[in-house]
Amino acid sequence: MKNMFNVLAEISWLSVLLAFVPYFLLGALWFTLLFSKPYKVSLGRENDLPQKLAPIFIIGPALCCLVITIASAILIYALKIDSYENAVIFAILVGLGYLVANTVNIAINPNIPKPLLYGLISGAYHFVGILIVSLILVRMK
Q: What is the pLDDT of residues 91-132, one digit of tens each?
A: 999 999 999 999 999 999 889 999 999 999 999 999 999 999
Question: Which residues are CB-neighbours of 20 under 8 A, at least 6 positions away?
Answer: 65, 66, 69, 133
Helical axes 56-78 vs 84-94, angle rounded to 10°: 130
Alpha helices by DSSP H, 3-114: 13-29, 36-42, 56-78, 84-94, 101-107
**CA–CA dist 72, 64 (Å, integer):** 12
What DSSP character marks residue 83?
S
| pLDDT score recorded for residue 2 | 62
- At 88, is the pLDDT very low, low, confident or very high (cuts 50, 70, 90)? very high
Q: What is the pLDDT of residues 5-18, one digit of tens each?
A: 899 999 999 999 99
Q: What is the pLDDT of residues 18-77, one digit of tens each?
A: 999 999 999 999 999 999 999 999 999 998 887 888 999 999 999 999 999 999 999 999
Q: Are 69 and 14 in contact (CB under 8 A)?
A: no
| pLDDT score recorded for residue 53 | 83
**CA–CA dist 36, 113 (Å, integer):** 16
| pLDDT score recorded for residue 60 | 97
**CA–CA dist 71, 7 (Å, integer):** 11
Q: What is the pLDDT of residues 71-83, one digit of tens each?
A: 999 999 999 999 9
CB neighbourhood size of 7 (10 A): 17
Question: Which residues are CB-neighbours of 30 under 8 A, at least 6 positions away?
Answer: 121, 125, 128
The one-letter code for the residue type at 16 is V
